[in-house]
Amino acid sequence: MEDKTTVMIPAADLEPNKIEILVGSFTIDTALLRVTDRSSLEYANDISQLGKNIIKAIGVVYDPLIAKARQPWDKFCADKRKLLARIEPEVKRLDQEAAAYIYEEKRKRLAAEEETRRLEAEKKRLQEQAILEAQKREDEARHQLALAEMQARQEERRAQGLQDEREREKAKFEAERIRLDAMKDHVKAEADVTAILDKAAEKEGAMVAAAPKVEEKIKLDGQVQRDHWVAEVIEADLVEREFCSPDPKKLATAAVRYRDTKKFPGFLIVNRPLMMKTK
């Protein structure tokens, strides 16, 4: 603590109310003061010394008061820091784990929804393909049945022109055989159509069984997840220039060390004098 005898402010003025008056008077006196000539320079220097003495007096008056008031304050702050140091890391860890879990569940849900859409599209494609194949088989069966009927009628007409009874009966029998074979082929075609549709339905059932379960969105009372993107430097040498800023401490060190003896790209070392009190 500064000794009162070195402050050059009367001891009677070393109390808060009078210090405040001194500061008010000083700021009023200096508000319009400008250094424009030698006379104003000397006056400004005297006033500046007075201001420095007032600054010291402020420390003499207020530092003991602050120190006295700071003791319980420091204890409370220390107690607070200890308690926060115990609880904050756990809360942060829980929040991080919860956020990571929710994010992973969201990723799974979106992947399941995408897989479900893919399976639905594949299911629709299989249905359309099965319908086309069944339609094609039915069309072929009807066409074969129509051809067989034409052949049977030709045999019947040929039988009518035959004189031999046995040959006529044989031709009629051939016509019936053609019709019977055609009906057998038609029945087989219907079975093929059923098999095509059943096979498609079996594939669709397997796809439905394989479809992933889409979980509901996670909702927590009073909580909401939001994206929080942060940049983590993994290789400082590769960071582009636009994301780098000069280091003030290193610049100040360079200014003191090199002064005006060395030039650097991007910044200048200049001399900005300060007024210092002589001993």
pLDDT, one tens digit for every residue, the chain (279 residues): 344 334 467 776 788 888 888 899 999 989 888 888 888 888 888 888 888 889 988 988 888 888 888 888 888 889 999 999 999 899 888 888 887 888 888 888 888 888 888 888 888 888 888 888 878 878 887 888 788 778 878 877 777 777 777 777 777 777 788 778 878 887 887 888 788 778 877 777 777 777 777 677 666 666 666 666 778 788 888 888 878 888 889 989 989 988 888 888 888 888 887 766 665
Residue 259, domain member (yes or no): no
Residue 279, domain member (yes or no): no
The reported pLDDT for the residue numbered 275 is 66
Give me the number of domains the chain comprises: 1
Residue 229, domain member (yes or no): no
The reported pLDDT for the residue numbered 128 is 84
Tokens of 183: 């009906």
Q: Which residues pair with 267 in a beta bridge?
A: 264
Contact partners, residue 111, CB within 8 Å, separation at least 6: 212
Residue 252, domain member (yes or no): no
Residue 182, domain member (yes or no): yes
The reported pLDDT for the residue numbered 278 is 62
Residue 246, domain member (yes or no): no
The reported pLDDT for the residue numbered 82 is 93
φ/ψ of 230, rounded to 5, equals -130, 155
Residue 160, domain member (yes or no): yes
Alpha carbons 269 and 179: distance in angstroms, whole number: 111
Domain span at residue 118 reads 4-220
Alpha carbons 34 and 43: distance in angstroms, whole number: 10
Handedness of CA 67, 71, 77, 78 (dihedral sign): positive
Q: What is the pTM of this model?
A: 0.42
Residue 256, domain member (yes or no): no
**Closest to 13 measured CA to CA, from 77, 61, 84:** 61
Q: Which residues pair with 223 in a beta bridge?
A: 220
The reported pLDDT for the residue numbered 224 is 61
User: What three-state secondary structure class fits 267?
Assistant: strand
The reported pLDDT for the residue numbered 228 is 66
